[in-house]
Amino acid sequence: MSYAPQAPMTVQSGGNRNAKNLPVTAEGREWSNGLCSCCDEPGTCLVACCCPCITYGKVKQRHEHLRTHGTPAADPSMVSGDCCLHLFTAYCGVAFIFQMMNRGEIRSRYNIKGGGCGDLCTACCCTPCELVQESRELELEEQSLGHQKH
């Protein structure tokens, strides 16, 4: 008796990607927190307003760590390569491109409705709110894995 080879089982790593149990349609779900609720997180909001490069760098590090390891980043650095990249590109007026790409990756990870055009408008017009919203989405998954707030 011979057995046919089977594809290896893949396990989705990470925590709960819909911690608030929002309804999911064929297009996806809504963000867990509204774009204009950034002031609910005053510390993150202040940093995102004054130094968006720091918030971008931390969000990028946290997202990458969840994506590659399935666990929260222990302590994302305040100043990282992503932070420096954002600072340089902001000086050149094109940081929104990296923000738009990162937002799309986060939307994809959490099956959130939207598209590139909306990501572009949000990155260009609402940078602090956008960064706080992304940070809070990551935070929900991190908390589902038992990690304390950043």
At residue 78, the pLDDT reads 83
Query: Among candidates 128, 110, 109, 107, which has minimal Cα distance to 118?
Result: 107
Q: Taking the domains of the chain in order of start, what are their residue ranges?
A: 39-144
At residue 11, the pLDDT reads 39
pTM metric for this prediction: 0.86
Q: At what angle do helices 81-91 and 95-110 cross, to 10 degrees?
A: 130
At residue 12, the pLDDT reads 52
- State how far the alpha carbon of 90 is from the alpha carbons of 61, 65, 127, in Å: 18, 24, 11
* Residues in CB range of 25: below 8 A, 6 or more apart: 113
C-alpha span between 85 and 59 (Å, rounded): 13
At residue 75, the pLDDT reads 83
pLDDT in tens, the chain (150 residues): 566 665 543 435 677 888 888 889 999 999 999 999 989 999 999 999 999 999 999 999 999 999 999 989 888 888 899 999 999 999 999 999 999 999 999 999 999 999 999 999 999 999 999 999 999 999 999 998 887 765
CB 80 within 8 A of CB 61: yes
At residue 55, the pLDDT reads 96
CB 123 within 8 A of CB 130: yes
